[in-house]
């Protein structure tokens, strides 16, 4: 298995990306192709001596797509950018997956333009794992690739999320929920009201009804399906809230005097263990489901650990043959094409 | 000033509601009318001796609207329910405000059916204060009264939120943001894209651009305007996340042995102080803005402290004459009726 890694994407590229690749090459049974500025990548690889003996190669790409650029325009113009070249390696069958912590828009645009979509899928969606109270992760999807989704898009999202949860998170029968503002079938906006009865009729997923905001971290659903607008707001809100809470606690301890500081010191080990358990870096990356190839999207602030996890996610995606399972299930759901073509 | 309190609404009614009213009667310069089952209310009042000498009266109402009931149907049928009677006291000019921790749907339906809307306002919205990093609160609105809002509804929401933030939270020039999935004007769903340029043209508010999910707790906006679907999901997500974090920390401490327990004990005072600072109970209630009367909606799990704060919010609402300010500003925004009538 060969995984292409966009070495130039992310706030800490190329250093943390290369370090992450080195970790992953030691941990997983896969070959890694680092795509980007060869000179810069080699410089980092040489700092880490062990890098030389691992199954890591470098594929040069002269350009980089920056965060502010318009994704589609940039992907079309910068043919030799790291993300475009890395995605091309997957299209050409040289690599099995692409992993990037660069501009999410550029990664999505590259995947859509270069790999295309799976037959029967109208829109690709990002599935973000959110650590939950039961010790697992709830897939929140779409978490930002599409807005103004039609019911049929949400049905396709449900099928893809269910497959991913089953094969990558080993959930035998994933409980799929529709994100809504109440439990009852009669609650919600037009989109949710139109989607609920269709989800209920699906045969390849276990639809468990409406999920409310509080259910996302509760763990009573394995997949929570929503429009990318809501998903993106929730995800960024969670990020902001977590940072706010941490900052307030640090301030409180700083101002709290000796006993507070001692208390914090004594509590540190258990809190560290807990932080590890809910650390999103442990989950590494979010798959872009629906494109015809494996594409894993990482947070811009990903460090080596997160990149390593993301490469692990990619290798599991490929090993479990997620693409084939999505194809099969989408075919089975004839209703997707028959019943709700124009909804 | 007289404030009607729905004594039968909420998970801990009537006890915590009555206790909250007693606290408020001592703290604020207002008279409180407890509405509900007289016998039950008097029983709680008598337990608290000081209750007798305070400016608290009881107005009997024989029925209660339960959480599961359909709001509009219940409000129409149960004419002698505590929330309907309490709201009627405001309509009849006997009371200046109504406060309820019962079914949000029933409180909203009562307010709309009995008090009606302010001229120029098409939809009432709930403005929920979210504690932020700057030590203040960001108003998230609408947080659940309406879904599928049109741009004109969001503009009206912006005007009302700005007024409320200015007079109740003492923000001289409230920064109003539009909740969206990116900072740029070109980002978002159809609703956001259509609303942004209209907000930019408004004269009575200080529109500060798009707010992303992470901005809600950051404190760089005083009012964040959104559709009630998104607002409700975010609010319930926050609630779930807070509970999840607390539960995980408690579990970690329990399993962490002696030093972890000692650490927690030493840290407790600063964490308690912090918890007080971000405690939503400090904010007590969320106003239902846009109805022609003061209606404060409380969380179903409100305790005496939260009820007391909510009554404080109501008295400030009345004292600051929020209704008149909303009317003035809505009139000033001629664009609301001229430019975007059919958007």
Chain B, nearest residue to A263 by Cα? B263
What is the rounded average pLDDT of the residues A273-288? 75
- Residue recorded with tokens 């399993």: B255
Chain A to chain B Cβ contacts (< 8 Å)? 175
Of A40-49, A103-112, B131-140, B250-259, least confident by mean pLDDT is B250-259
Of B318 and B253, the one with more pLDDT: B318
Q: Return the pLDDT at B73.
A: 95
d(CA A153, CA A176): 15
Sign of torsion over alpha carbons A43, A44, A49, A50: negative
Whether B278 shows a pLDDT value over 70: the answer reads no
Nearest to B180 by CA among B130, B216, B153, B134: B216
- Among A103, A134, A144, A230, pick the best mutation site for testing chain B contact (most B Cβ within 10 A): A230
Whether A280 shows a pLDDT value over 80: the answer reads no
The per-residue pLDDT for range B244-255, each reduced to its tens digit, is 887 888 888 888
Of A250-254, B53-57, B75-79, B225-229, least confident by mean pLDDT is A250-254
Average pLDDT, chain B: 91
Q: B264 to chain A nearest CA, in Å?
A: 6
Distance separating the N- and C-terminal Cα atoms of chain B: 40
Which of A121-130, A234-243, B266-275, B334-343 tops mean pLDDT?
A: A121-130
| % of chain A at pLDDT higher than 90 | 74
Q: Return the pLDDT at A264.
A: 83
Q: A47 to chain B nearest CA, in Å?
A: 36
- Candidate CATH numbers 3.40.718.10, 3.30.565.10, 3.40.630.30, 3.20.20.70; the one for domain A122-280: 3.40.718.10
pLDDT level of residue B54 (50, 70, 90 thresholds): confident
Q: Return the pLDDT at A78.
A: 97
A188, A226, A267 ranked by CB distance to B267: nearest: A267
* Phi, then psi, of A11 in degrees rounded to 5: -65, -30
Nearest to A4 by CA among A36, A42, A32: A32
The Cα-based distances of A17 to A12, A56, A67, B252 in angstroms read 7, 12, 16, 32
For residue A194, the chain B residues in CB contact (below 8 A) are none
What is the rounded average pLDDT of the residues A278-296? 85
DSSP state of A49: G
For residue A190, the chain B residues in CB contact (below 8 A) are 147-148
Chain B, nearest residue to A255 by Cα? B270
User: Domain residues of chain A, as ranges?
Assistant: 1-118+290-320, 122-280
Test A232 with B266 for CB contact under 8 angstroms: no
What is the rounded average pLDDT of the residues B13-27? 95
Specify the length of chain B in residues: 343
d(CA B190, CA A229): 10
Matching fold, domains B1-121+290-320 and B122-284: yes
pLDDT level of residue A149 (50, 70, 90 thresholds): very high
The per-residue pLDDT for range A30-59, each reduced to its tens digit, is 999 999 999 999 999 988 866 557 899 999
The per-residue pLDDT for range A237-264, each reduced to its tens digit, is 998 888 887 788 888 888 888 888 888 8
The per-residue pLDDT for range B155-197, each reduced to its tens digit, is 999 999 999 999 999 999 999 999 999 998 988 999 999 999 9
Distance separating the N- and C-terminal Cα atoms of chain A: 40
C-alpha dihedral over B9, B325, B124, B8, to 10 degrees?
A: 10
Q: B328 to chain A nearest CA, in Å?
A: 31
* Phi, then psi, of A56 in degrees rounded to 5: -125, 130
Whether A222 shows a pLDDT value over 90: the answer reads yes
What is the rounded average pLDDT of the residues A314-323? 96
For residue B215, the chain A residues in CB contact (below 8 A) are 240
Helix (H), strand (E) at residue B286: strand B285-289
The per-residue pLDDT for range B91-124, each reduced to its tens digit, is 999 999 999 999 999 999 999 999 999 999 999 9
Q: Return the pLDDT at A39.
A: 97
Of A137-146, A194-203, B38-47, B275-284, least confident by mean pLDDT is B275-284
- Provide CB contacts within 8 A for A334, sequence distance 6+: none
The per-residue pLDDT for range B305-317, each reduced to its tens digit, is 999 999 999 999 9
| % of chain A at pLDDT higher than 70 | 94
A189, A218, A249 ranked by CB distance to B148: nearest: A189
Whether A7 shows a pLDDT value over 60: the answer reads yes
d(CA A294, CA A268): 38
CATH classification (class only), B1-121+290-320: alpha beta
Q: A33 to chain B nearest CA, in Å?
A: 32
CATH hierarchy code of domain B122-284: 3.40.718.10
* Phi, then psi, of A40 in degrees rounded to 5: -65, -40
Q: List the structure tokens of A236.
A: 């960024």
ipTM: 0.89
Q: List the structure tokens of A206.
A: 């276990």
For residue A266, the chain B residues in CB contact (below 8 A) are 259-260, 262-263, 266
| B199 half-sphere exposure, CB direction, 13 A CA radius | 32
- The topology (CATH level 3) of A1-118+290-320 is Isopropylmalate Dehydrogenase (3.40.718)
d(CA A270, CA A263): 12
The Cα-based distances of A135 to A130, A220, A276, A278, B170 in angstroms read 10, 11, 11, 8, 43
Test A266 with B248 for CB contact under 8 angstroms: no
Test A216 with B240 for CB contact under 8 angstroms: yes
Nearest to B102 by CA among B147, B59, B145, B71: B71
pLDDT level of residue B341 (50, 70, 90 thresholds): low
Q: Return the pLDDT at A339.
A: 57
What is the rounded average pLDDT of the residues B28-54? 88
For residue A224, the chain B residues in CB contact (below 8 A) are none
Whether A175 shows a pLDDT value over 70: the answer reads yes
C-alpha dihedral over B301, B304, B309, B314, to 10 degrees?
A: 80
Whether A282 shows a pLDDT value over 70: the answer reads no
Strand order in A125-126's β-sheet?
A56-60, A31-36, A2-6, A97-100, A294-298, A285-289, A125-126
- Residue recorded with tokens 């960001």: B138
């Amino acid at each position: 298995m060969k995984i292409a890694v966009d070495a130039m994407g992310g706030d800490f590229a190329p250093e943390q990306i290369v370090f992450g690749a080195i970790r992953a090459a030691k941990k997983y049974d896969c070959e890694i192709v680092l795509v980007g500025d060869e000179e810069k990548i080699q410089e980092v690889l040489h700092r880490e001596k062990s890098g030389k003996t691992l199954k890591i190669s470098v594929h040069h790409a002269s350009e980089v797509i920056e965060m502010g650029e318009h994704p589609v325009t940039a992907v079309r113009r910068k043919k030799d950018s790291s993300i475009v070249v890395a995605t091309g390696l997957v299209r050409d069958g040289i690599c099995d997956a692409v992993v990037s912590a660069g501009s999410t828009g550029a990664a999505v645009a590259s995947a859509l333009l270069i790999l295309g979509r799976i037959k029967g899928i109208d829109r690709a969606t990002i599935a973000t794992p959110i650590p939950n109270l039961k010790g697992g992760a709830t897939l929140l999807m779409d978490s930002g690739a599409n807005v103004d989704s039609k019911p049929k898009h949400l049905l396709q999202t449900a099928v893809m999320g269910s497959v991913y949860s089953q094969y990558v998170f080993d959930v035998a029968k994933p409980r799929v929920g529709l994100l809504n503002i109440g439990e009852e079938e009669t609650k919600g906006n037009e989109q949710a009201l139109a989607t609920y009865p269709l989800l209920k009729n699906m045969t390849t997923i276990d639809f468990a009804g409406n999920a409310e905001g509080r259910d996302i971290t509760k763990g009573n659903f394995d997949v929570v399906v929503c429009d990318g607008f809501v998903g993106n707001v929730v995800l960024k809100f969670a990020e902001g809230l977590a940072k706010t809470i941490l900052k307030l606690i640090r301030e409180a301890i700083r101002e709290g005097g000796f006993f507070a500081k001692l208390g914090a010191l004594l509590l540190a080990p258990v809190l560290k263990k807990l932080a590890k358990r809910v650390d999103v870096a442990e989950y590494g990356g979010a798959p872009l489901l629906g494109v015809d190839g494996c594409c894993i999207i990482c947070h811009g602030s990903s460090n080596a650990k997160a990149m390593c996890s993301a490469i692990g996610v990619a290798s599991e995606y490929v090993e479990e043959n997620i693409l084939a399972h999505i194809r099969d299930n989408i075919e089975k759901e004839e209703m997707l094409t028959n019943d709700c073509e124009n909804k």
